Structure 1
């Protein structure tokens, strides 16, 4: 073996191990049973004391998008192998740190969702759980109204990841 071929071999060997190890882990789809083919996601009604008009729609669509992008399941209306339903129970904005002149230096937007997941194929995997996530923001970056939609999208992403992982990755 020449010195050049030895260097190429040593450079490619770690890549081979990396490529091989990537095939072992599958985060897309989690541990969805082979016989599970369909999922139904009901509209998540907003029952929070502070109501944001598009929050129900954006959360429901974010959960559908998560399932579409990270699983092989078909979204259906009505009876399915798995079903998500629930409601948004809280939406609030609170100061988390105060400046010397009694104004909020940082604020926190929190969204809480109550979820009922029913696995019709394996009842012991079903659950009812509350999920809550938050995002901190500063009014120095703009008004609440200008920051609200990007904050909601970010929180919805975190919430749907938690819900998906709880249902399908057993986390």
Structure 2
């Protein structure tokens, strides 16, 4: 009776996109430069939270190992460039009925094994909330929603095409 043996090489991500030609990744600290953008404000700790959210996204959706030694196959770095609250809808009394929190992140991705996959681009998302609610009351939920979308977009741009 013939014996059939199948051997596979490579690491597969959980999106089903195919093999990843990498074993390790590194996410450098995303500095918060939002105050340098007109109309933006500064949110303490957001830089740390975003960096961790991106690390967790990649850890949870791939079998890549996180390293911090500068020799990773995949490198992510960038800055938080905007953190803005804007009125979105007005009432009959000409006051805001709804506000929008917008966050923009500039991300750079470097693939040591495939430099053609490198990119430098901005990603943004928003969270709408009632104007009569203080940002501090919804901030954690808003950050979670926005970080979920932005980290998924960065993940898709860097890894989902493989």
- Alignment TM-score, normalising by the size of structure 1: 0.80
Instruction: Give the structure with the larger strand fraction.
Output: 2
Segments of structure 1 that go 5 or more residues without pairing to the other structure are 1-25
Could you say which structure has the larger radius of gyration? 1
Question: Number of residue pairs matched?
Answer: 145
Check if 1:65 corresponds to 2:56: yes
- Name the residue aligned to 2:102: 110
Give, in angstroms, the shift of residue 34 of structure 1. Answer: 4.1
Give, in angstroms, the shift of residue 27 of structure 1. Answer: 6.8
- Name the residue aligned to 1:8: none
- Name the residue aligned to 1:52: 43
1:73-116 Cα shifts (integer Å, max 9, x gaps): 00000210000000000000000111011221111110000000
Segments of structure 2 that go 5 or more residues without pairing to the other structure are 1-11, 36-40
- Alignment TM-score, normalising by the size of structure 2: 0.84
Check if 1:94 corresponds to 2:86: yes
**131, 155, 170: which one aligns with 2:161:** 170
Give the ranges of 4+ consecutive aligned residues of structure 1 lying more than 3 Å apart after TM superposition: 29-35
Cα distance in 1 between the residues matched to 2:20 and 2:147: 28
C-alpha RMSD of the superposition = 1.8
SS at match of 2:100: strand
1:18-40 Cα shifts (integer Å, max 9, x gaps): xxxxxxxx872554644310000
